[in-house]
Amino acid sequence: MRKHVLKIVAFVLVCVAAGPCRAQDRVTILYDAFGESKELTKDWGFSAFVEHNGKRILFDTGNNAAIFEHNVKALGIDLTKLDFVVISHRHADHATGLRYVLSVNPNVTVYVPADGANGFGGAPIPKTFFREDDSLPANMRYFSGAEPDHLTSGKLYDTGNFVLVNQLTEVSPGIFLVRTVSQKQGTLELPELTLAIKRPNGLLLVDGCSHAGIEAILQAASAVDPRTEVVFGGLHLVTTPVEEIDALVENLKTKWKVERIAPGHCTGEPAFARLKKAYGEKYLYAGLGTRVELQ
């Protein structure tokens, strides 16, 4: 008993000396096309395993279910103990590995953006989608001219507890899903979810592809906290002209005051180079297999 009490006292003294104690956050990259590990398989796509205050969160699942399974097992991640899964958007390089997730954890909650085209199921199809023409005979009209009261999209998965997200949502204390919609050519109207975790010095953000643009995401996330401590994931700058990348990097540092950056996936090599130069020691390498611990 006396030893146990001494351990508690020692812990308290360490906390007092070092400042307020808080749970450590950790992000492990499970899927990407660059990295140092020879045991893991590189492929185009993204997945990250996020640990925060005892919560175990899987963010995206990569491009190939077999590769995702291999990497998960090699890294010793137990998918049966997940608290929930987040699929950022419907693109295959972020969602294909979900087949493996559901094979080992069929009842896990999976948050997905409300999007009738994503195949996760349950999104309503608006009545305005059907333009009526009363001049047609009933056998040429949708539903014989009597549109059903409720019409929803189908889903590609036999299992899965899918939760559709259509607005900024707090899914657990201090853990939010930020929803944005792309207004950019090529991905117009594509909804996407970003994981936002409140930390004492600002937000920990995990992006899938940032199709709406990282600045639009930062603006939306400011409703949770205007400060951003660190950004992980894809910034979708792989084909962006270097002049635009330079302007964005400057904005991230001066306008948005993003303290640290850990880019991956579709950020692109020219942007990796410019972000590393701009952030120096505050650039966090986050290749495949990397475990980044945040105190």
Please name which of 266, 265, 118 lies closest in space to residue 189, comparing C-alpha atoms: 118
Paired residues of 288 in beta bridges? 35
Measured CA to CA, the distance from residue 273 to residue 261 in angstroms comes to 12
Fold for 23-120+155-294, please state it.
Answer: Metallo-beta-lactamase; Chain A (3.60.15)
Measured CA to CA, the distance from residue 259 to residue 201 in angstroms comes to 9
Provide the pLDDT for residue 2.
45
3-state class (DSSP) for residue 165 = strand
Provide the pLDDT for residue 11.
36
Measured CA to CA, the distance from residue 286 to residue 123 in angstroms comes to 34
Provide the pLDDT for residue 150.
79
Provide the pLDDT for residue 8.
36
The answer to whether the pTM exceeds 0.75 is yes
Provide the pLDDT for residue 78.
98
Handedness of CA 227, 231, 235, 237 (dihedral sign): positive
The H or E element that residue 217 is part of is helix 214-221
Q: Is residue 88 classed exposed, middle or buried when 0-12, 13-18 and 19+ CB atoms within 10 A define those classes?
A: buried
Please name which of 44, 112, 43, 103 lies closest in space to residue 79, comparing C-alpha atoms: 103
Residue 198 in contact with residue 173, Cβ under 8 Å? no
Residue 245 in contact with residue 271, Cβ under 8 Å? yes
Measured CA to CA, the distance from residue 179 to residue 188 in angstroms comes to 15
Domain residue spans of the chain: 23-120+155-294
Which stretches in the chain have pLDDT values below 50?
1-21, 23
Provide the pLDDT for residue 228.
98
3-state class (DSSP) for residue 194 = strand
181 CB contacts (<8 Å, ≥6 apart)? 189, 190, 191, 192, 212
Measured CA to CA, the distance from residue 52 to residue 268 in angstroms comes to 28
Q: What is the DSSP letter of 176?
A: E
Residue type, 197: I
99-140 pLDDT, tens digit per residue, is 999 999 999 999 999 886 677 877 777 777 778 899 999 999
Measured CA to CA, the distance from residue 286 to residue 16 in angstroms comes to 32
Provide the pLDDT for residue 139.
93
What angle, rounded to 10 degrees, do the helices at 242-254 and 269-279 form?
30
